[in-house]
Amino acid sequence: MKSAVAFVLAALIVATAGTAHAFSLVASTLETPGRTHSVRVADADGDGLKDVIVSSTTGAPPSQKRVVAVYFAEPGAHPAKPSITTTAPAWACVYDLADVDGDGKLDLLYFGRDKVAARAIGRSGFGEERVLIAAGSDVLFPDSYRLQGAPLARNWQGDDAVEIIVPNYNRLVLYTSSGGQFTKDRALPIEMFADQWTGDYERSPDYIHVTADASIEVSDLRQADYDADGDLDLYVVKEEHIAVFTQDNGRLSTKPAQSDRFPIRTDDEGRKRNTDVRPIITDLDGDGYADLVQAKFGGSLMDYKSLVRVHRGGPGGLPRTPHFERSSEGFSANIRFDDADGDGVKDMIFPVWKVGIMTIVRMLTAKTASQSFYVHLGQGASLYQGEASYEIDAAAKYDPNAGELYGMEPRFGYDFDGDGKPDLLTAPDAESLEVRLNEGGLNFGDPVATVAIPPVEKIIIDDFDGDGRADVYMWYESYRQSKKVVTIWNKADETSAESEAQ
């Protein structure tokens, strides 16, 4: 069997000829060097086109290598094979992409335990490694299997320059640049979260044997407007704990404006460790203040439960008491907030997967499962009260060998035909994508485009070529599907384009 998937090109003409917004979907497959772990879509070389940057692993232990590959975009397409590749050094713990020298091109940054280094990205290859910061992180460790991406080099202070955050135990160290040189600016105190487990011990006349496992978890870094002053503030997020560092005259404060725990797990769930909590930071009601969404899901196989809470931000910060909550019997992992009906307000797309005996039988026999998605329209300060306004089901494929489900949830809020209204992208059978055009509000027409794909694991949707129509990027992290990235470019139909030009 060939180790790489051959380049495939399939143009599918949408059956909307005669309209002003006819379009085609063009799907292609990018061969990746190895097992794909992360995908970024960004303009790496400063030519205005979005390139694809992939982190993957080749080989097997102990000789495996972590490879970063770049696919430079041409108008309307990406090459089937990588334009340039490089092997990450063994010391690299995580990576990021940023323009650290202000030349309009991205650099590949490696973060290690004793330094932060960068390599320029160019069409002729990667530049020589140069050390940006001669100090590293004491909480990051290199993973020989994968090179994980982390958002650490960003415009953190709103000054149109890239600052670098290096996580350390109980603090984030912020580095700023002047003339291309990065120097330590300040340290932001944070709370670190350690986890430990101790197994049964064996006692003998000669020794005591204890089995223990310990880990330190680094919080996520997010940006949102905490105080409605127009500046993006820094949120340090770890499940139930939120700390916020606001901008003060273009600099991040060294003391958090708020540092609180928002408990959503019960004591029993905390002891059993059978639930996950995913926080979302976004302005839901359009008042300028970022809100906190907590989504909790988990339980046992036959007794999944989910809960979502919304804490509305305001002049006094994030209140401990939620303004809205909804619970469900079932598994609700990927709650999304998108403008589904085009009124400019974020709506809540609430998934529910109910697991029962018949669900398990269907998974084992037909190797499929079904999940329901409910759209609750945003109502400003009232948030998402009342019954769902729209419901749609989606299918997923079950892989008994991996014990995993593969499929894409319906995606609202993206314009595929360029008419300014949010359309609906669905995967009705987990092996194809369909576009249904918005006919006003939450009314969506029959499918106008269908493209065959393998079951979806990861997906990015955006207008990547600036033509006003949404494009799609998908990749697969399972071993069976891992050596490729599927791109679906959205192109105006030539007949329609000629009509618009006239």
The pLDDT score that the predictor gives to residue 370 is 73
Q: Report which of residues 151 and 491 the model is more confident about.
A: 151
pLDDT for 274 equals: 84
What's the pLDDT tens digit per position in 252-280? 999 999 999 999 998 888 888 888 899 99
Q: Residue 461's pLDDT is what?
A: 94
pLDDT of residue 3: 35
pLDDT at 501 over 50: no
Cα–Cα dist 129/149, whole Å: 18
Whether 336 and 347 have beta carbons less than 8 Å apart is answered as no
Check whether 15 has a pLDDT greater than 50. Answer: no
User: What is the rounded distance in angstroms from the CA atom of residue 283 to the CA atom of residue 119?
Assistant: 36
Confidence category of residue 159, pLDDT binned at 50, 70, 90: confident
Average pLDDT, the chain: 85
Place of tokens 């989606």: 394
The domain locations on the chain are: 155-255
How far apart are the C-alpha atoms of 254 and 177, rounded to whole Å?
Answer: 18
Q: Does the pLDDT at position 494 exceed 80?
A: no
* pLDDT exceeds cutoff 90 at 208: no
CB-based contacts of 203: which residues, under 8 Å, 6+ apart?
A: none
pLDDT value of position 10: 38
Is a pLDDT exceeding 60 seen at residue 210? no
Per-residue pLDDT reduced to its tens digit, 299-354: 766 677 889 999 999 999 999 999 999 888 877 778 999 999 999 999 999 988 76
Q: Is the pLDDT of residue 82 over 90?
A: yes
Environment class of 152 (CB within 10 Å of its CB; exposed 0-12, middle 13-18, buried 19+): buried
Is pLDDT at 11 greater than 80 in this prediction? no
Out of 191-205, 235-249, 312-326, pick the least confident. Answer: 191-205
Mean pLDDT of 187-213: 62
Distance CA 210, CA 199 (A): 7
Reported as a single tens digit per residue, the pLDDT across 50-65 is 999 999 999 988 889 9
Phi/psi at 477 (5° precision): -100, -10
State the pLDDT at residue 385. 80
- Average pLDDT rounded to a whole number, residues 426-433: 81
What is the predicted pLDDT for the residue at 492?
A: 75
Name which of 187-196, 197-206, 343-352, 419-428 the model is least confident about: 197-206
Alpha-carbon gap, residue 374 to 203, rounded angstroms:
56
Q: What is the pLDDT of residues 22-34, one digit of tens each?
A: 887 888 899 999 9
Asked if pLDDT for residue 118 goes beyond 90, the answer is yes
How is 84-145 classified by DSSP, letter by letter? Answer: EEEEPPTT--EEEEE-SSSSSS-EEEEE-SS-EEEEEEETTEE---EEEES---SS----SS
What tens digit of pLDDT does each residue of 356-392 get? Answer: 566 666 666 666 777 789 999 998 888 998 889 999 9
- Examine the pLDDT at 14 and tell me if it is beyond 80: no
